[in-house]
Amino acid sequence: MTGKKKDKGKPEAPVPNASADDRGSRFDKLDKDKTGKLTREYYTTHQSDAAAAGDRFTKWDTDKDGFLSRDEYLKQGK
């Protein structure tokens, strides 16, 4: 379901129709410090296309607090 990594160490953009388990696993890998949220800077710098990632972040940050919570990240694919 996920393709090849474009840049070593930078995962592809999330797959929109991936299962909640897949999205949860990807969030957990990004959330290295286990805070349950990702900053815009951290999220965008860990994606292969930072500009597109910034657009996704804005769309997915539904409460507009400047963080992507695990719940917001999981709901992005639904």
Domain count, the chain: 1
Q: Is residue 24 part of a domain?
A: no
Q: Which residues are registered as beta bridge partners of 38?
A: 68
| Residues of the domain holding 46 | 34-75
56 within 8 A of 76, measured Cβ to Cβ: yes
Give SS3 for 37. strand
Q: Is residue 51 part of a domain?
A: yes
Query: CA end-to-end span of the chain, whole Å?
Result: 16
Task: Look at residue 4 and tell me whether its pLDDT is greater than 50.
Answer: no
pLDDT digits (tens, 9 = 90+) for 7-57: 455 555 555 556 778 999 999 999 999 999 999 999 999 999 999 999 999
Q: Is residue 41 part of a domain?
A: yes
pLDDT of residue 17: 58
pLDDT of residue 56: 96
Q: Is residue 22 part of a domain?
A: no
